[in-house]
C-alpha cells in the first residue's frame, strides 16, 4: 500500500536540519528503494523565467535530459497541460524522450505552489503498465508535501 509510506514522506520532508535539495534526494531514494516498479524517480522544476524544465534531485541512473523545453516529451507536455500524464507504454508515444531503453512506462504529476505549476515528479518504470490511480493520488500527496517546503 502506497499510503503506508505517507508518514515516512512527511518525516523526510520536515527534517529542517537538511537542505531542501537533500530532503528531495532522500525522498526520491525512499520511493525508488521501496516501490519495486519505481525504477527512476526525479523532480524537474521550471528553470527561472525560461520555458523549460531543469532536472532537480533524482534517484536512479543519470540522464542526459537535464533540460527539457516546455512541450517536449512527457515532462514538457505536463509543464503545459498542468495535468497528470500516465503512460502505460512509452513505445506508443510520439512525443516521448527516451532516457533508457529499459523503460516501459512513465508517470508525471505536476507540482503546484500557490496554484502555479512550478515543476513535477517523474517516475520511470521498467515494468509495463504498472501505474494506477493509487499512484496518482499518492504522488499528488507527495507533491503537496514538497510544495510546503519550497
Residue from 24, 26, 56, 124 in contact with ligand SME (CB under 6 A) = 124
- Is residue 74 close enough to count as binding ligand SME by CB under 6 A? yes
- Environment class of 11 (CB within 10 Å of its CB; exposed 0-12, middle 13-18, buried 19+): exposed
Name, in order, each residue with C-beta under 8 angstroms of 137's C-beta and a sequence gap of 6 or more: none
- Is residue 39 close enough to count as binding ligand SME by CB under 6 A? no
Residue from 106, 111, 130, 131 in contact with ligand SME (CB under 6 A) = 106
Total Cβ atoms within 10 A of residue 7: 9
Q: Give the cell for residue 29.
A: 531514494
Of residues 11 and 81, the one with the C-beta less far from ligand SME: 81
Rg (CA), the chain: 14
- DSSP secondary-structure letter at 2? G
Of residues 74 and 139, the one with the C-beta less far from ligand SME: 74
- Interatomic CA distance for residues 24 and 35, integer angstroms: 16
- Is residue 65 close enough to count as binding ligand SME by CB under 6 A? yes
Residue from 37, 45, 96, 112 in contact with ligand SME (CB under 6 A) = 96
List interacting residues with ligand SME (CB under 6 A): 40, 42, 63, 65, 68, 73-76, 96-97, 99, 106, 122, 124
Amino acid at each position: 500500500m502506497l499510503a503506508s509510506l505517507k508518514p515516512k514522506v512527511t518525516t523526510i520532508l520536515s527534517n529542517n536540519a537538511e537542505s531542501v535539495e537533500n530532503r528531495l534526494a532522500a525522498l526520491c531514494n525512499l520511493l525508488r528503494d521501496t516501490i519495486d516498479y519505481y525504477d527512476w524517480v526525479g523532480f524537474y522544476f521550471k528553470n527561472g523565467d525560461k520555458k523549460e524544465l531543469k532536472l532537480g534531485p533524482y534517484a536512479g541512473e543519470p540522464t542526459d535530459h537535464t533540460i527539457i523545453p516546455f512541450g517536449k516529451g512527457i515532462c514538457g507536455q505536463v509543464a503545459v497541460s498542468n495535468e497528470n500524464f500516465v503512460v502505460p507504454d512509452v513505445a506508443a508515444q510520439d512525443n516521448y524522450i527516451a532516457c533508457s531503453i529499459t523503460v516501459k512506462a512513465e508517470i508525471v504529476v505536476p507540482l503546484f505552489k500557490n496554484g502555479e505549476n512550478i515543476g513535477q515528479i517523474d517516475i520511470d518504470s521498467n515494468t509495463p503498465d504498472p501505474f494506477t490511480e493509487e499512484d496518482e493520488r499518492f504522488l499528488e500527496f507527495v507533491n503537496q508535501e514538497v510544495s510546503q517546503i519550497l
